[in-house]
Amino acid sequence: MQAQRTATVRFTVPFADIDAMQVVWHGNYFKYFDLARDQLFRDAGIDLYRAVDDGLVFPVTRTQTKHIRPLRFRDEVDCTATLVEWEHRLVVDFELRLVSGTLCARGRTEQVAVRLAESNPTLELRVPEMIRKALDSIPR
């Protein structure tokens, strides 16, 4: 079992993220997850969004979210991303908490590596070695 790696980002919920019920629209939770996931990979020196320059993309293939307490305009939130698997796919668990510690949501995303070719994209059966090694370098 691989040791887990974690990154947390803090943000304030903007007005634009609120729906007609005065809570954060459910689709915005994935935007918050992406902020923390991006920080997690940047901590390892990896920019998954620039990997396309090397012919590699990491599409999200599965998502899951459990909404526990709604987020509201101007809530201060910590979003924590925890990398739980990075050998065959990238699996990241998330928690959204108010800075007071109140748990608001949990989530998970799964991504796979796909090598782009001019006419035939190919699913990689493992996360490329250089990315696995960089992820191994994140402090526990």
Instruction: Specify the CATH number for the domain of residue 80.
Output: 3.10.129.10
pLDDT of res. 90: 95
The total domain count for the chain is: 1
Q: For residues 132, 64, 42 and 85, what is the CA-based torsion angle, rounded to 10 degrees?
A: -20
pLDDT of res. 50: 77
Cβ–Cβ contacts within 10 Å for residue 123, how many? 10
* Burial class (CB within 10 angstroms; exposed 0-12, middle 13-18, buried 19+) of 58: buried
Domain with 34, as residue range(s), is 5-136
pLDDT of res. 39: 94
Cα–Cα distance measured from residue 76 to residue 112, given in angstroms and rounded to the nearest whole number? 32
Splitting the chain (140 residues) into consecutive groups of 10 residues, what average pLDDT does each group show? Answer: 77 97 96 96 84 85 97 98 94 98 98 87 88 77
pLDDT of res. 30: 97
pLDDT of res. 82: 96
